[in-house]
Structure 1
Amino acid sequence: MHQNDGRQPGNAPGNGDGDPDERYRRSNALLVDEVLGFLFAAALRAAAEVGVADHLAKGPGTPADLAAATGTDARNLYRLLRLLATRGLVAEDESGRFALTEAGQALRSDVPYSARAAILMLSDRTFWLPAGELTRCLTEGGSAFDEIFGMPFFDHFARDARTAAVFHDGMAAMSDAENAILAAGYDFPSTGTVVDIGGGHGGLLLEVLRRNPALSGVLYDRPHVLAGHRLGTAPEVEGRWSLTEGDFFEAVPPGDVHLLKRITHDWDDDQCATVLGHCRRALHPGGRVLILDAVVPRGNAPHQSKALDLLMMVSLTGRERTEEDFAELLAKSGLRLSRIIPTPTVLSVVEAVPA
């Protein structure tokens, strides 16, 4: 898939070969190749599920050896690895052995910033099944999740412990690779209290406290989420953090800085305005709200936010937002967009202050 074969569907008819239909043949071939892309995601998920990368970490292996180690069918495992090799995640040598490439290292579960849990989350049936019903979102509006699962996204999580674990572990895996960069990318106040709203296991708050030794922090989330927090694993932040249970649609703890990482994109504008309004009222004088989310750029260039936006569309009520969208949303919440700080990650820091 995505072969480097020079197909250019927008070329002039014939590309100089005298065939006026050639441009459409090329477009046809490109589009067929693109629509098969979902099979690569399926292969990547299956590889993560059986843990083949952990065995490749020991060195190159034959499909037979790898199948024995993973409890899989050797012929079918070979077919899967052959597809992953087309994207450079593994490489097959002349003897038929596969090796894990540099690009594929984060598929392992035993490395820093492993992507395995994130892959399992993003390809979980809670996203995969609604994505197959995307047309329904276009013709009927709203997400496809409720019709498939019989309830909204987060209600389903509250009733299904397996799905909740997949989600929170996957979000932590996505966040771990970003948190130190985000914490370093913003000039936090020298003293005060940082409240991480819906902060999950506390990875971002931990990095903020590590870099700012005079700050204290509050991790705010639902009780079952806070049970998995990691703040107690870092002696250097001991005594500077606390846990608060609650629902950010009802209230948020007071503080000098409110962090909302990958929160606003889950919810529609009215729901976000409720949460942000609580933040506005709970801010100490001189405080600020930091929304850490993707900001959709103008133009036609690829950007992960454009794919994530469809993920939000099919399974949740939210969306990824442009700079103008954030400005309008904040104005509804008693806040004012102060500035947007890009980071080396897909996320930006959207800074808001009281209007």
Structure 2
Amino acid sequence: MPNDEDRTTEDGAPTAAQESLRRSAAFLIDEALGFVFPAALRAAAETGVADALADGPATAAELAAATGTDARNLYRVLRLLATRDVVAEDEHGRFTLTETGQALRSDVPYSARSAVRMLTDRTFWLPAERMVHCLTEGTTAFDAVFGKPFFDHFAGDAETAAVFHVGMAAMSDPENAAIAAACELPDSGTVVDVGGGHGGLLLEVLRRNPGLEGVLYDRAHVLAGNRLDGDKEITGRWTTAEGDFFSAVPTGDVLLLKRITHDWDDDECVTLLGHCRRALRPGGRLLVLDAVVPRDNAPHQAKSLDLMMMISLTGRERTEADFAELFDRAGLRLSRILSTPTVLSVVEAVPV
């Protein structure tokens, strides 16, 4: 017997069921082409097109001359970027960098250019193509592509590591002031930024809280690029500490973990959180600054980031219940969650 989807109406027109399936197919095909847009965005970031547009409108030919690219192909890339309001083309074929696209420039505060380059780097791009490996094998795809775990790969490739750390700083910079404002901190004491990278968050925390001192804790090669040195506003109120947070964590009144727990599996997180609990002074608090995945069908950046963690690392983005379970295993209690204007929340824990 034919299905309803196989039939047509008496006049040969598609049935409602067929039209529904046609729309479904069109949607899925369009979504499958979606990977081309971040590729175009990366191409623009790599060639510096946004910087070339900083002085005003220009044609593709003028931009190609300024960036050393092929004019016809550059036009095709810009035409696609215009569909997402990164640039806009006028009736004379001149392109303008829109308000939405301004952060693609390298010379503006909160430039996203390095973050775009990191998120579209082959270290994320290639494992994404192997996502089915995660489903069939239950493990990250990164090792299968690069032959070693994510952070081991970076440890042996200084150029790729630089792309990652600079990109992470660029991804974090627009968030740091808002997150620092959302954290309820004491008037005095020591804040330890565990795995704090180049120190962008700690810098904002110390600027907002003049009674606090800070410790930036990370690997030596990461600390070498820290941004705390030379900021007169926090002179004398910070130090760096080198180490591995899976071995120990410096003592403090408040410990910060920004975008750290999502990198690691549950057992590794429990080890890290246990070190944090032991490092807290009496009355101290741990602030995990990470996305909290909502339990609904609405779009949320955490759901995309979660798949990035799946394909390249052992970690994942977590729900409120997931955090509560992790804390409980580490001798901590989830005390509250504070929202911020960013995709991240302040997930506060205290010792049991």
> Shorter-chain TM-score: which interval?
over 0.9
Which residue of structure 2 lines up, in the alignment, with residue 192 of structure 1? 189
Which residue of structure 1 lines up, in the alignment, with residue 85 of structure 2? 88
State how 1:95-106 maps to structure 2 within 5 Å. Answer: 95-106=92-103
Out of 294, 297, 312, the position equivalent to 2:294 is 297
Q: Distance in 2 between matches of 1:297 and 1:233?
A: 40
- In the TM superposition, residue 298 of structure 1 has moved relative to its aligned partner by 1.1
Query: Is 2:226 the counterpart of 1:251?
Result: no
Q: Distance in 2 between matches of 1:135 and 1:36?
A: 18
Which residue of structure 1 lines up, in the alignment, with residue 33 of structure 2? 36
SS class of match (2:289): strand
SS class of match (2:343): coil
Q: Distance in 2 between matches of 1:238 and 1:354?
A: 32
> What amino acid is aligned across from residue 190 of structure 1 in structure 2?
D
> What amino acid is aligned across from residue 59 of structure 1 in structure 2?
G
Out of 301, 324, 327, the position equivalent to 1:327 is 324
SS class of match (1:216): strand
Q: Distance in 2 between matches of 1:315 and 1:267?
A: 11
Which residue of structure 2 lines up, in the alignment, with residue 234 of structure 1? 231
- In the TM superposition, residue 186 of structure 1 has moved relative to its aligned partner by 1.6
> What amino acid is aligned across from residue 137 of structure 2 in structure 1?
E
- In the TM superposition, residue 187 of structure 1 has moved relative to its aligned partner by 1.4
SS class of match (1:252): coil
Which residue of structure 2 lines up, in the alignment, with residue 280 of structure 1? 277
Q: Deviations over 1:271-298 (max 9, x none)?
A: 0111110000111000010000000001
Query: Is 2:344 the counterpart of 1:347?
Result: yes
State how 1:108-187 maps to structure 2 within 5 Å. Answer: 108-187=105-184
Structure 1 stretches of 5 or more lacking a match?
A: 1-12
SS class of match (1:179): helix
- In the TM superposition, residue 18 of structure 1 has moved relative to its aligned partner by 4.6
- In the TM superposition, residue 234 of structure 1 has moved relative to its aligned partner by 1.3
| Identity among equivalent pairs (%) | 74
Q: Distance in 2 between matches of 1:154 and 1:19?
A: 52
- In the TM superposition, residue 20 of structure 1 has moved relative to its aligned partner by 3.4
- Normalising by structure 2, we get a TM-score of 0.96
- In the TM superposition, residue 107 of structure 1 has moved relative to its aligned partner by 0.5
Q: Distance in 2 between matches of 1:188 and 1:208?
A: 9
Which residue of structure 1 lines up, in the alignment, with residue 219 of structure 2? 222
CA gap of 1:80–1:194, structure 2 versus 1, over 3 A, is same
Q: Distance in 1 between matches of 2:152 and 2:230?
A: 30
Q: Distance in 2 between matches of 1:259 and 1:20?
A: 53
Which residue of structure 1 lines up, in the alignment, with residue 5 of structure 2? none
- Normalising by structure 1, we get a TM-score of 0.95
Q: Distance in 2 between matches of 1:316 and 1:125?
A: 14
Which residue of structure 2 lines up, in the alignment, with residue 202 of structure 1? 199
